[in-house]
């Protein structure tokens, strides 16, 4: 199958979804109001609540959600064949992720930019807040641990990428100061910064940076040193005002994302690469079943619960107008789906040019999982070679892209984890943790750091299964919050209910499969750590699903009364959100 045909068809479907389906959601489901005063204006503080141009908010949102997951997940899932993987990416993006991301922003904006966990307490029931916050805490712990390991692995494997990544930080701070002080557009300075970053790629190849001497001196692995440094950076970055580092680096990364997509898509067109992987792969008999695990393996890139945390945690605090939610939320989902498409093409067509036999790269599930990031990097290098870029530079370019996106997601993830820690501390009335930003940030960092430090492929290989399941479960529960809110406002919830039911069935099924695997595993860590964790998440999920079902039934029963009340009933519902 020519890769260019697949590319054109999928991008056309994404364009149609944004052109026709997102306006339907904006008007009929979420009823956006351009005159609504957003929390960014109502609670403006210059740190978290900052009214921001929609293009910059899009950059932050898009780059925060488009981390390593929409690359790694599809790169693993093509093990079952590119057909099922691509079908889930397309349908999930248009009918699930767009609704989920868009809706999470709108509901949060209508409730003072509160997090999705807090919204569960207000929209569903008081008990739901604590239940959802605990699930989110587990999700963010897994996100930050897994992404730290991804970045560490790439630093060790590609030391030439370290220098360009380090240069990005002061450049982003400079862009942030320039834009914030002068109140000017970020486009030109961000493009100049990106050019400087890429100018350092050849220098990075000439002067690779490693931490081997430090690791040898203190008797640990380079992998461990990098993880500690990554979390130290995330601790500092998450404490800075969003305009100082988070927003400007996101804007630089948006330009990088567009360039990466251009390299991949143009490389496909120029090289006329053929997809060599089978549509449906004849996998070994002992492989994990693709149904339901495909829908867990590909999280970001189809639909992801982490997006609801970003949407309600940082994005809703920066939205200038409520109508910007469609552009930021739905188009952000489309952008991430496009990245997932590129990952599939890189790992089924481009990788062959640099890494050889595809069947050897995907001989079994363990090999596919362990080599996913490397397959993407090599695939992008293959596409770049079609454009005349040397393979060595193309590989470092791809590594810089993945590391940049993963690091941005970690910045946002640690910041969100701090919010969650503070909310949980408020619930249990532990004021020192609830009001102390430093203590809350330490708590947000220490648990994922401990998980990431576990040697071997535990964090990436084993935790990825539980991360994917918890991530998709969070997406389903976020959709439940959105569905109840939409129903309470007497609007049609079908567009939300369909992906909601599908995700909750798939994730609870996967939790049961994972629990059986963990309990019967030979590794003590899986038996005594992951099995209890899986069980706790499963119990919390079942409890919250019941709460959501009861709230949805009650909201549905009240639709008739609200309809009989006419505009006055709608005005009362709106007043409750103020």
Q: Rounded distance, CA 31 to CA 45, Å?
A: 28
pLDDT of residue 101: 96
pLDDT of residue 353: 67
Q: With a cut of 70, which residues of the chain have pLDDT below it?
A: 353-356, 456-462, 560-578
* Alpha-helix residue ranges (DSSP H) falling in 93-125: 98-109, 116-123
| Helices 290-297, 82-92: crossing angle, 10 deg rounding | 60
pLDDT in tens, 477-487: 899 999 999 99
The two structure tokens encoding residue 457:
């492929």
Q: Rounded distance, CA 343 to CA 373, Å?
A: 10
Q: Are 234 and 445 in contact (CB under 8 A)?
A: yes
Looking at the structure of the chain, the number of domains it has is 1
Q: What is the DSSP letter of 139?
A: H
pLDDT of residue 253: 83
**C-beta atoms surrounding 223 within 10 Å:** 17
Phi, psi of 274 (to 5 degrees): -110, 140
Phi, psi of 12 (to 5 degrees): -65, -40
Cis geometry, peptide bond prior to residue 292 (ω within 30 degrees of 0): yes
Q: Rounded distance, CA 365 to CA 50, Å?
A: 45
Q: Rounded distance, CA 475 to CA 59, Å?
A: 21
Q: Is the C-alpha dihedral spanning 329, 420, 296, 504 positive or negative?
A: negative
Domain range for residue 244?
3-576
pLDDT in tens, 259-315: 998 999 999 999 989 999 999 999 999 888 898 999 989 988 899 998 998 899 889
Looking up residue 344, the CATH number of its domain turns out to be 1.20.1740.10
């Amino acid at each position: 199958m020519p890769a260019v045909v697949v590319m054109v068809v999928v991008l056309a479907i994404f364009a149609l979804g944004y052109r026709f389906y997102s306006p339907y959601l904006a008007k009929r489901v979420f009823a956006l109001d351009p005159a609504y005063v957003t929390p960014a204006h109502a609670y403006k503080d210059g740190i978290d609540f900052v009214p921001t141009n929609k293009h910059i908010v899009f950059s932050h949102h898009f780059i925060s959600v488009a981390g390593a997951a929409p690359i790694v997940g599809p790169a693993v899932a093509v093990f079952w064949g590119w057909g099922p993987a691509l079908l889930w990416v397309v349908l999930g993006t248009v009918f699930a992720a767009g609704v989920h991301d868009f809706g999470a922003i709108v509901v949060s904006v209508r409730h003072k930019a509160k997090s999705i966990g807090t919204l569960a307490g207000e929209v569903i029931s008081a008990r739901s807040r604590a239940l959802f916050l605990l699930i989110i805490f587990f999700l963010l712990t897994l996100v930050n641990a897994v992404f730290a390991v991804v970045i560490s692995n790439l630093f060790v494997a590609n030391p030439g990428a370290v220098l360009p990544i380090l240069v990005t930080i002061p450049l982003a701070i400079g862009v942030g100061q320039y834009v914030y002080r002068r109140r000017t557009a970020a486009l030109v300075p961000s493009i100049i910064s990106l050019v400087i970053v890429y100018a350092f790629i050849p220098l990075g190849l000439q002067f690779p940076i490693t931490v081997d001497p430090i690791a040898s001196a203190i008797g640990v692995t380079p992998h461990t040193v990098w993880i500690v440094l990554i979390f130290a950076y995330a601790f500092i970055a998450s404490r800075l005002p969003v305009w100082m580092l988070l927003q400007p680096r996101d804007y630089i990364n948006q330009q990088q994302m567009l360039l990466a997509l251009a390299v991949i898509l143009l490389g496909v067109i120029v090289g006329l690469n053929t997809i060599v992987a089978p549509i449906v792969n004849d996998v070994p008999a002992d492989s994990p079943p693709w149904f339901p695990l495909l829908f867990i393996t590909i999280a970001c890139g189809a639909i992801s619960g982490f997006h609801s945390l970003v949407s309600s945690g940082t994005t809703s605090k920066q939205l200038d107008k409520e109508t910007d939610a469609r552009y930021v939320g739905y188009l952000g989902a489309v952008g991430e789906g496009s990245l997932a498409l590129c990952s599939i093409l890189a790992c089924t067509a481009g990788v062959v040019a640099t890494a050889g036999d595809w069947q050897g790269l995907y001989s079994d599930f363990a090999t596919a999982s362990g080599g996913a990031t490397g397959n993407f990097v090599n695939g992008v290098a293959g596409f770049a070679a079609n454009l005349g870029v040397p393979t060595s530079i193309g590989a470092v370019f791809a590594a810089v892209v993945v590391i940049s996106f993963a690091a941005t997601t970690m910045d946002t993830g640690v910041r969100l984890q701090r919010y969650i820690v503070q909310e949980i501390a408020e619930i249990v009335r532990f004021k020192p943790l609830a009001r102390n930003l430093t203590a809350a940030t330490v708590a947000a960092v220490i648990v994922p750091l401990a998980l990431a430090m576990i040697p071997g492929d535990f964090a990436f290989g084993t935790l990825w299964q539980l991360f994917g399941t918890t991530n998709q479960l969070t997406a389903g529960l976020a959709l439940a919050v959105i569905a109840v809110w939409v129903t309470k406002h007497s609007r049609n919830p079908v567009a939300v209910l369909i992906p909601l039911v599908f995700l909750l069935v798939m994730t609870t099924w996967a939790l049961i499969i994972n629990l059986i695997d963990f309990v019967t595993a030979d590794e003590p860590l899986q038996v005594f750590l992951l099995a209890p964790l899986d069980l706790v998440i499963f119990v919390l999920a079942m409890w919250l699903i019941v709460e959501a079902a009861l709230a949805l039934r009650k909201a549905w029963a009240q639709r008739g009364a609200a309809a009989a009340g006419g505009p006055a009933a709608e005005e009362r519902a709106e007043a409750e959100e103020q």
